[in-house]
Chains A and B, each alone.
Chain A
Amino acid sequence: MNSIEVKNLTKKFGNFTSVDNISFNVKQAEIFGFLGANGAGKSTTIKMLCGILEPTLGDAIVEGQSVAKNPDRVKQNIGYMSQRFSLYNDLAVGENLDFFGGVYGLSNQKLNERKKWVLKIANLEGKENLLTGSLPGGIKQRLALGAAVIHQPGIVFLDEPTSGVDPISRRNFWELINELSSEGTTVFVTTHYLEEAEFCNNIIFIDDGKLIAEGNPKTLKTKYLDKPILEVECSSVIEALVILEKSPFVDETSIFGNNIHIIVNEKYVEEKQITALLEKQNNITVKKISKIVPTLEDVFIHLLEMDKKK
């Protein structure tokens, strides 16, 4: 059963094509990662899927409703949480929930029930009179997510929900996302933190409005990055990077912390090639070279480089 079915979705602004003929499916109750650089067309796509922006071409069926034909029906069945904190800081926690509940047509007993649920997941039980602005960031984020699903939608869209949140709160937030998904809610999430994307069941990458890769994190790493990837630990990282970039057995380089990741081709045979090359310069010493399992970040950078070369 699919929660979203996107078919040839396209959005043009004048001559500029923001979203270029993309198609994909999102299964019921899965956590679906939607990745892409800034300006790749992520926000435009989400706006279309939420029924607030009309597609130029193509369509998407969200929870059984067409975004092109019935955008208002779509809106009733979705939840949305933006990267900007979207609750009212000058209202109390309970007042915010009353408002969002009221907006989605909840009242009386149902509203009370759902308010209790949101307060529970945000760890704010008994604190509904606190002013929302006084809450710490992580709690605010959980409260915002709770408010976004107060009407129990089949799917919730999270647009960079964890930007600007500390690592522990981020981890807690993802536990909450897992909880929602296990209760049957589809979670459609965009993020710039690629280690978060590892938690997703399925991922798509878009660049320049085009879909360039899709699959679960494991297949993405094997299917799109079939060449070996090595981590080189050495001194004078920047100089080493310049040398490696130019050598014939290296396809791609990137810096990860104090290390260099290189993708090598068939001309690469053994570690000595690297050590010899780098240690010709007397100020570089190679400490360690190891073959590693690529991270999603490796795949992401690789895909963007490939797309650029085209």
Chain B
Amino acid sequence: MNLNRTRAIAKKEFKHLMRDVRLLAVLVFSPVFLLGVFGYAVNFDVHHIKIVVYDKEQSKISREFINGLTQSTYFDLIGYISDDSYIREVLDTKKAQCVVVIPVDLSQKFYSRQEAKIQYLIDGVDGNTANIIQFYVTAATYSFSSKLSSEVLARSGMRSFLPLNFEPLFWFNPDLKSTRFLIPGLIAMILIVTAAVSVSLSLVREKERGTIEQINVSSIKTSELLIGKTLPNVLLALLNATMILVVGYLLFDVVVKGSILLLFFCTLIFLIACTSIGILVSVISDSQRLAFSIATSLTMLPSFILSGFVFPIESMPVTVQILTNITPAKFFIRILRAIILRDVGVYAFWDQLVYLILFASALLTAAILIYNRKEKNN
């Protein structure tokens, strides 16, 4: 490989990037914009669940229970109803996500040491949110009932005793904030899309304009051409990654716990894998338009759906789990979460790096084979 030639190509590519101010602005600022949009919009934390109470008993205990619910930020009391027939209406018109029905015999059952049942009617249209609401109301009921039982026992001179209790402690993301979980995925998705698209476009542009002929007859080797052309794009992507981390810190308090150096090294490996997608796309397509649509569809959806960014891979059917390997974002997200959230060393995820390298090698080999076949038939 000749360094002078590689440098000449990289220099030219860099100038192309600098010349097209509009494209440059899109490449630099769209990741930050996407991060803002995703960071605020994609949020699985459920707060301020709207509840309506149908208190059939209206006793001291029932009021105490309702107070307990509404003290937290999880529940907002919208109002009371006084008849069964309103339940349907309240849920239908989406005035409330959950209707709490307190039975008429709550106090009576409590004092006679019988089990009382509080009914929750939850809007189940959004299954995910419904699950979370269910989790919250269960927890709220449980804590209220254990508080009640200890009071009762205290009155009769006994201390409450629970044979088993638990104290959950969430490591790495103690407040269970979903942005913290999402940002690594966002970095992966944004980088894979920008890197694959920009590399494939810059290669196909040469084909479309016919300048590739001039390069073919010169003594430039394919490796020099590819390295020279991808280098500026990879640097730009690294800049993007840095900006995402900075903005992630400023807007969402996401701090990189692990080694920044290791993070950049792994990002570089990931970018090589993304670049190989771009190269393969450029070999297949002859126009920038085609390259753009292939590159985006190969990167955008898989890195969103199949990478574990939002949906846990472990809960997918086996066939889909196998399919998740088509996106290198899957491996990179694991690495990012390990470094950013857990602060673990390379020993914990070296296998993911190997997968990334295998992925890049497989795609580059395919690109070379297809390219050679096309050349023979020209």
A positions within 8 Å CB-CB of B = 13, 50-53, 72, 75-76, 78, 80-82, 84-91, 95, 98-105, 107, 148, 157
Contacts and interface: CB of A to CB of B under 8 A. Distances in A.
B20 A78 contact: no
B319 interface: no
Contacts of A89: 209
Most buried by A among B5, B213, B217, B375: B217
Contact of B12 (A76, A91, A105, A107): A91
B27 to A, nearest CB: 16
Contact of B15 (A51, A52, A72, A95): A95
Contacts of B218: 75, 80, 100, 103-104
Would you list the 10 A-B pairs with minimal beta carbon distance, nearest first?
A102-B8, A84-B210, A80-B217, A86-B214, A75-B219, A99-B12, A82-B213, A50-B217, A76-B219, A90-B19
B94 interface: no
Contacts of A107: 4
Nearest to A151: B218
Nearest to B225: A103
B216 interface: yes
B17 to A, nearest CB: 10
A172 B168 CA distance: 85
Contact of A52 (B5, B12, B16, B217): B217
A88 B211 contact: yes
B369 interface: no
A86 B219 contact: no
B215 interface: yes
Contacts of B9: 99, 102-103
B49 to A, nearest CB: 55
B342 interface: no
Contacts of A157: 217
B36 to A, nearest CB: 31
Nearest to B206: A88
Contacts of B7: 102
How large, as a class, is the contact surface on chain B? 20 to 34
Given A86-B210, A100-B214, 20 more contacts: A13-B377, A50-B217, A52-B216, A72-B219, A80-B213, A80-B218, A81-B214, A82-B210, A86-B209, A86-B213, A86-B214, A88-B16, A90-B19, A95-B12, A99-B12, A102-B5, A102-B7, A104-B218, A107-B4, A157-B217
Contact of A87 (B2, B8, B20, B211): B211
Contacts of A78: 217
Contact of A105 (B4, B11, B375, B378): B4
Interface string B215-238: 111111000000000000000000
A90 B378 CA distance: 29
A85 B210 contact: yes
Contacts of B217: 50-52, 75, 78, 80, 157
Nearest to A148: B214
A104 B219 contact: yes
B16 A91 contact: yes
Nearest to B5: A103
Nearest to A73: B219
A8 B109 CA distance: 106
A88 B375 CA distance: 24
A76 B2 CA distance: 13
25 contacts: A13-B377, A50-B217, A51-B217, A75-B217, A78-B217, A80-B214, A80-B217, A82-B213, A84-B210, A85-B210, A86-B210, A88-B209, A91-B19, A95-B15, A98-B11, A99-B9, A102-B4, A102-B7, A102-B8, A103-B220, A104-B218, A105-B2, A107-B4, A148-B214, A157-B217
Interface in B1-52: 2, 4-5, 7-9, 11-12, 15-16, 19-20
A78 to B, nearest CB: 7
A99 B214 CA distance: 12
Contacts of A99: 8-9, 11-12
Contacts of A72: 219
A237 to B, nearest CB: 39
Interface string B362-378: 00000000000001011
Contacts of A82: 210, 213-214
Interface in B266-310: none
Contacts of B2: 105
A100 to B, nearest CB: 8
Given A91-B15, A91-B16, A95-B12, A103 B215 contact: yes
A89 B12 CA distance: 12
B224 to A, nearest CB: 9
